[in-house]
Structure 1
Amino acid sequence: MDDVVAEDVSVWRVAFDEVFAGIAGMFGRVESRRWARSYLTGLLAPVERKNSWQLSDAAGVVGPDGLQHFLNRSRWDADELRDRLRSYVTTALACPDGVLVVDETGFLKKGVKSVGVQRQYSGTAGRVENCQLGVFLAYAAGAGRALIDRELYLPESWTGDADRCTEAGIPDPRREQGVVTKPRLAEAMIARTVEAGVTAGWVAADSAYGRDGKFRSFCEARRLSYVLEVPVRQTVNDLDGRRRVDTLVGRAPADAWHRVSAGLGERGERVYDWAWATLPSFGDVPAGFSRTLLARRSLDDPTDIAYYLCFHPATVTREQIIAVAGSRWAVEECFQAAKDQCGLDHYQVRKWTPWYRHITLAMLAHAFLAVTAATDPKAHAGWVESQSPTSAVSWR
């Protein structure tokens, strides 16, 4: 048994070495490469709080100065790392039905110095808190899911204060843009992904993005099929004018509802009642495509209904649409795993560049776990074993 465990841990090491070899060349100095490796292994290690102090301890270094220099002042490009991360994930997981899932998550912070921080609504906390908001793009496929892009949202309290932006190291082009809304940040990430040649069949997002007409138009102009949640008051074109989505769904006959699973969740199959209907077009829908309205009704509470606007090839089936709607939860699973296992929210940096560096490294650590779980069970088993307090794995 011990031999089997040792073999699994060895396979994990080989898999990690291969991933690090794919990014090592972007760190020009030997010292930077060493710190990058220490940082990544620390993010994957059973360290309670994955900040510079505890990651330095895990690396056998006295004090956090080396890792803080690596995050704040050493020369390397977090966007280049993002590009390599995206390629790593999509090479392993990409499929024609892959879904690009957009969502945001909050990072609770104290004080006013952390870049982008202010009192604002955080879905993570479920209330208004002093926090930063990051907008993320995940890639979800049958084999697995991982975060592949990120942007920090800057509210007006930051973009309208030049001195504050300078102190936080926000680049001139970014501050000159002023407030960039979260849907526009999402569009930029999707555009980068498409331009990189990533295979993806769909875009999915919650109502913060689905209610934005410009975001829907952005996807349609690029023939990107979508399933986007919208609020109950969302209106759409009907034959005799514009109607609220809940009004249209309320007219659906009983036999329009079908009980279908949206996929596996933590508690088993996610089964709901679904109704789906084609919306009338007035010449503005590309040939071969349709706009449809999807509704999801809870089995426990029939008054609990979610609504989705959809755009897709006319040949798509109900089951395909429902599967895409269900895939949106993948990004929440990514957030939870990246925070719990890889320290996505454990950072103590305040400025723009180190925020992007830590976040991207944590995304890569999570992506490594997601890809190895999907493609190399022995390597993933080795990582699980390495989390044991009695493990003989050295992170140095």
Structure 2
Amino acid sequence: MVLRTLASPLPVAWVTADSADGQDGRFRRLLEQTGTGYVLAVPTSQFTVGCPRIDGLFARAPDEAWEKASCGDGAKGPRLYHWAAVRLPAVAEFDYQGEFPCRMRWALARRSIRRPDEIAYYLAYAPLETTAHQLVRIAGARWAIEECFQAAKNECGLDQYEVRRYVGWYRHITLAMLAHAFLAATAQQARAKGAEPVRPTGPLRSPWRRFGDSWQLVGPSPHTCADTAADATL
């Protein structure tokens, strides 16, 4: 799938993924061979250029290397973490064009503000002019993408396919994502006109009520039951 996507006429500037893909060295080499930038999550035991283990690398980072930054907006506002980024040694085979460098390697760490022992790690491959703040933003883009895919699954049946060939799969997800984009644009237009957003109903109120030292089930009143029965007979 990755080979077909990179070979397609669609522009692909960056790739981001979780540690299941990020730890795969062949996947990273594939992106580097095509000149595609990436910010990939990796496990704490990840080995890389000039870095025996990525968690050990950031364990030696000075306090001033950590900077509070947002990697994007979440449901409750900006997602703030402490971030640290360090440039890694270059690899001549992939990072140079002739004698001149064209790409740069980074290692990033994202540390929880409230729980400093919770740290996530990333490897990045980027053009020379890329800044650490841009890499943070790209790392945070994965949450928005995952939310988009989850919404498309719930609303447009993105995952409701049974195909074994790439063409059939590609047609299905293209149609599903097009439908999702239409729904998102329609909802945004409605909000722009002042319409109230549709909110899901809350959980059903429990019929359990405490009376003295025991619990009882509270049902509808006799009048309500009589009115409902009368409506049903009409």
Normalized against structure 2, the TM-score is what?
A: 0.71
SS of aligned partner of 1:243: coil
Query: For residue 92 of structure 2, what is the amino acid of its counterpart?
Result: G
In the alignment, which of 80, 102, 107 is matched to residue 271 of structure 1? 80
How far off is 1:237 after superposition?
1.9
Correspondences of 1:327-342 after superposition (within 5 Å)? 327-342=141-156
Going from structure 1 to structure 2, the CA distance change for 1:381 and 1:369 (only over 3 Å counts) comes to farther
Residues in 2 aligned to 1:365 and 1:384: alpha-carbon distance in whole angstroms? 22
Contact kept? 1:187, 1:215, Cα under 8 Å? no
How far off is 1:289 after superposition?
1.4
Query: For residue 227 of structure 1, what is the amino acid of its counterpart?
Result: V
Contact kept? 2:23, 2:43, Cα under 8 Å? yes
Contact kept? 2:21, 2:27, Cα under 8 Å? yes
In the alignment, which of 189, 192, 205 is matched to residue 5 of structure 2? 189
How far off is 1:344 after superposition?
2.6
SS of aligned partner of 1:315: coil
SS of aligned partner of 2:41: strand
Residues in 2 aligned to 1:217 and 1:317: alpha-carbon distance in whole angstroms? 22
Going from structure 1 to structure 2, the CA distance change for 1:306 and 1:362 (only over 3 Å counts) comes to same
Going from structure 1 to structure 2, the CA distance change for 1:257 and 1:341 (only over 3 Å counts) comes to same
State how many pairs are aligned.
193
Going from structure 1 to structure 2, the CA distance change for 1:246 and 1:368 (only over 3 Å counts) comes to same
Going from structure 1 to structure 2, the CA distance change for 1:379 and 1:292 (only over 3 Å counts) comes to same
In the alignment, which of 294, 301, 323 is matched to residue 137 of structure 2? 323
Match of 2:123 in 1: 309
Matched, 1:203 2:203: no
In the alignment, which of 365, 384, 388 is matched to residue 179 of structure 2? 365
How far off is 1:382 after superposition?
11
Match of 2:114 in 1: 300
SS of aligned partner of 1:190: helix
Matched, 1:280 2:127: no
Normalized against structure 1, the TM-score is what?
A: 0.44
SS of aligned partner of 1:324: helix
Residues in 2 aligned to 1:384 and 1:352: alpha-carbon distance in whole angstroms? 42
Greater share of helix residues, 1 or 2?
A: 1
SS of aligned partner of 2:153: helix
TM-align CA RMSD: 3.1
Residues in 1 aligned to 2:198 and 2:42: alpha-carbon distance in whole angstroms? 43
SS of aligned partner of 2:108: strand
Query: For residue 207 of structure 1, what is the amino acid of its counterpart?
Result: S
Match of 1:252 in 2: 61
Correspondences of 1:120-139 after superposition (within 5 Å)? none
Correspondences of 1:205-220 after superposition (within 5 Å)? 205-220=17-32
SS of aligned partner of 2:52: strand
Going from structure 1 to structure 2, the CA distance change for 1:310 and 1:378 (only over 3 Å counts) comes to same
Larger Rg: 2
Match of 1:237 in 2: 49
Contact kept? 1:205, 1:228, Cα under 8 Å? yes
Correspondences of 1:72-87 after superposition (within 5 Å)? none
Residues in 2 aligned to 1:350 and 1:218: alpha-carbon distance in whole angstroms? 28
Query: For residue 33 of structure 2, what is the amino acid of its counterpart?
Result: A
How far off is 1:378 after superposition?
4.9
Q: Percent identity?
A: 45
Going from structure 1 to structure 2, the CA distance change for 1:282 and 1:186 (only over 3 Å counts) comes to closer
Correspondences of 1:141-160 after superposition (within 5 Å)? none
Query: For residue 34 of structure 2, what is the amino acid of its counterpart?
Result: R
Match of 1:221 in 2: 33
SS of aligned partner of 1:237: coil
How far off is 1:291 after superposition?
0.3
Query: For residue 153 of structure 2, what is the amino acid of its counterpart?
Result: K
